[in-house]
Structures are given as structure tokens and as C-alpha cells.
Amino acid sequence: MSQELYIDPKRCQGHARCWSIAPETFGIDEEGFAYVLPGREGAYDEESAQKAIKNCPERAIKVRDV
Ligand code: F3S
């Protein structure tokens, strides 16, 4: 089993802190909401991902087992 980073679209409000902390992992779509860059879901820097998770005011960034 491995882990995958994802954004809960029901929670994301577009604060973009994730993107400013870890632009190599997160993108912002044309509507201003975050997504995990393709190919990065299971290949992200743990430290910056955890920092982004802690800094999202909506708690929209999550890790799940896959
Ligand atoms: Fe959304 Fe949180 Fe990033 S609200 S844009 S996931 S900082």
C-alpha cells in the first residue's frame, strides 16, 4: 500500500497557500482551486506537503492510502 496526496474539492476555497508553499506539487486551476499536479499524487516531498497540509485554512489537502 502506498499513499497519495489529494485535494478535497468540497473544502478547497482557493487560498493558494499550498501552491505558494509547494509549487512543484500543487497547481491552481483556471477557477482558482488547487489540484495536485499530474504524476505528483504519489511522488511528493513529504516535508513541503506536510507544511501545505498544516497551512491550508480549509483543511482541504489530504493523504489517503491507495
Ligand atoms: Fe485550496 Fe487550501 Fe490550497 S483552500 S488552494 S487547498 S491552501
Split into its structural domains, the chain has a count of 1
Q: Cβ(5) to ligand 1 under 6 A?
A: no
Q: Given its phi and psi angles, is residue 58 left (phi above 0), alpha (psi -120 to 50 degrees) or beta?
A: alpha
CA of 9 to the centre of ligand 1 (A): 9
Kindly report the CATH number assigned to the domain that includes residue 9: 3.30.70.20
pTM: 0.95
User: Given a cut of 90, is residue 2 above it in pLDDT?
Assistant: yes
Q: Cβ(9) to ligand 1 under 6 A?
A: no
Tens digits of per-residue pLDDT, 50-65?
999 999 999 999 999 9
Q: Pick the atom of ligand 1 nearest to 58's CA.
A: 4
Task: Give one DSSP letter per residue of 4-48, joined into a string.
Answer: EEEE-TTT-----HHHHH-TTTEEE-TTS-EEEPTT-SSS--HHH
Residue located nearest, by CA, to atom 2 of ligand 1: 56
Cα(46)–Cα(21) distance, integer angstroms: 12
Q: How confident is the model at residue 1 (pLDDT cuts 50, 70, 90)?
A: confident
Which pLDDT belongs to residue 35?
98
Tens digits of per-residue pLDDT, 18-59?
999 999 999 999 999 999 999 999 999 999 999 999 999 999
The partner residues of 62 in beta bridges, in order of sequence, read 6
* Residue ranges making up the domain that contains 40: 3-65
